[in-house]
């Protein structure tokens, strides 16, 4: 099984460096162009099925990529971004000002009405189990989701402690590839954005 992991295109919140989480925004004009360039990049790839987060920015990216191809698009709520609770829509500076006692390395957002890193990882582990049980071993799967959910998925697939999720960087509309998922998963491409640099 080969997994192609793509982050959705840019939104206005991404550009403004705001915590987005479950805030359900559509792609910006830049994000729409990024999704189109990602579509062109993926036109050379074998894809059997697309799994996408149910949030608009990911679903819109999935729709762009599926356009013109006979691809089944499967929305999954468990691929949604981490819920930032009261941090949603705020910048880092605004959070620090409003919550001066907050430790930015502590991802136990339940204290702020959101979702903890452990809760996110439980959702992602369930999704990874579902992938393996629902698809043949020779399947090429495209997964379109979010920075947080994809980074945790990488940790789960590669057997890395989820506390290391921030060690991966995934830009909007980036492509990451994990091969041999059924055997011993191998990361063969990480955060590729070369397709965004072409005219």
Check pLDDT > 80 for residue 197: yes
CB 181 within 8 Å of CB 193:
no
Single out the catalytic residue among 146, 151, 162, 181.
146
Single out the catalytic residue among 7, 8, 41, 76.
8
**Is 146 known to be catalytic?**
yes
3-state secondary structure of 135: coil
Mean pLDDT of the chain: 95
Check pLDDT > 80 for residue 198: no
- Please give the C-alpha separations between residue 8 and each of 37, 82, 109, in angstroms, as whole numbers: 12, 15, 23
Strand arrangement of the beta sheet that strand 2-7 belongs to: 72-76, 49-53, 140-145, 2-7, 175-179, 186-192
* pLDDT tier for residue 178 given thresholds of 50, 70 and 90: very high
Half-sphere exposure of 73 (CA within 13 A, CB side): 19
* pLDDT tier for residue 199 given thresholds of 50, 70 and 90: low
Check pLDDT > 80 for residue 186: yes
Check pLDDT > 90 for residue 143: yes
CB 52 within 8 Å of CB 144:
yes
Spans of all domains in the chain: 2-196
Element containing residue 148 per DSSP (H, E): helix 147-158
Segment 141-161 mean pLDDT: 97
* pLDDT tier for residue 125 given thresholds of 50, 70 and 90: very high
* pLDDT tier for residue 160 given thresholds of 50, 70 and 90: very high
Provide the CATH number for the domain formed by 2-196 in this structure.
Answer: 3.40.50.1240
**Is 195 known to be catalytic?**
no
């Amino acid at each position: 099984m080969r997994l192609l992991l793509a982050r959705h295109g840019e939104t206005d919140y991404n550009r403004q460096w705001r915590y987005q989480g479950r805030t359900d925004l559509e792609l910006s004009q830049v994000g729409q162009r990024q999704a189109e360039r990602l579509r062109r990049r993926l036109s050379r790839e074998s894809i059997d099925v697309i799994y996408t987060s149910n949030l608009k920015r990911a679903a819109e990216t999935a729709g762009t990529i599926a356009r013109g191809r006979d691809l089944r698009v499967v929305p999954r709520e468990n691929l949604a971004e981490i819920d930032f609770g009261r941090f949603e829509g705020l910048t880092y500076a605004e959070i620090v000002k409003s919550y001066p006692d907050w430790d930015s390395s502590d991802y136990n957002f339940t204290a702020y009405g959101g979702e903890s890193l452990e809760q996110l990882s439980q959702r992602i582990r369930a999704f990874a189990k579902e992938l393996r049980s629902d698809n043949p071993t020779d399947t090429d799967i495209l997964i379109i989701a979010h920075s947080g959910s994809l980074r945790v998925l990488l940790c789960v697939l590669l057997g890395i402690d989820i506390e290391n999720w921030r060690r991966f960087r995934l830009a909007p509309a980036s492509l990451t590839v994990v091969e041999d998922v059924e055997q011993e998963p191998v990361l063969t491409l990480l955060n590729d954005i070369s397709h965004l640099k072409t005219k």
